[in-house]
Amino acid sequence: MWRALHTAPALRQRQSGGGDDSSQRPPFADPFPLPFSPELDPLKKAEGVNLASESQRIDDFVVPIRVPNRLNEERPKKLARLQYQCRKRGTLETDLILSTFAVKELASLADAELDELDMLLDEPDWDIFYWCTDRKPVPERWQESFATEGRLGHRLRLHTRNDERTVRRFPQLSAEIKSPA
């Protein structure tokens, strides 16, 4: 009784089904669902799913924001930077996927694929994770890469599926990546 009388009016209104946002989401719905929450089921994908790169849009800026002075980077320097960026992103899930992919394929990637990976790494971590695990639709700018067999995004998605069922651990950052001759 005491709790009912002292609960905030807006909370009581939301609990009783009133208010203008109750039709859009259930009461007490998590605004930040975990990666494999039921509401992210790929069978229930809807048009216009908000991705971090789209929902964090700032007027007059193109998302993702590119870091300048990377256009004429030498291959050894680019390989070292990409290896580090794949390993040290911030979310462990994405770090594990990208760092093991980098160990497996980074040295053998062509220059165009290195540039594509560089652009992919500018995307938010959770977007990359959801695209690799096929939990959210891939935006138009990455559709070709993830849908075309043999392209970087498709190979990354196959790597994420881990059909070999290998146990993956974080690789060490190597001092130098050798490109095939």
Q: What tens digit of pLDDT does each residue of 39-94 get? A: 666 555 544 455 555 555 555 655 566 677 777 889 999 999 999 899 888 889 99
Assess whether pLDDT exceeds 70 at residue 119. yes
DSSP 40-53: G-GGG--TTPPPHH
pLDDT value for 64:
63
Domain 75-161 has CATH 3.40.50.2300: no
Rounded (5°) CA angle 169-76-71: 110
Contact 33, 136 (CB under 8 A): no
pLDDT value for 132:
94
Q: Is the dihedral of CA 134, 128, 101, 76 positive or negative?
A: positive
**Tens-place pLDDT, residues 3-40:** 544 545 444 444 444 444 445 555 555 666 666 666 66
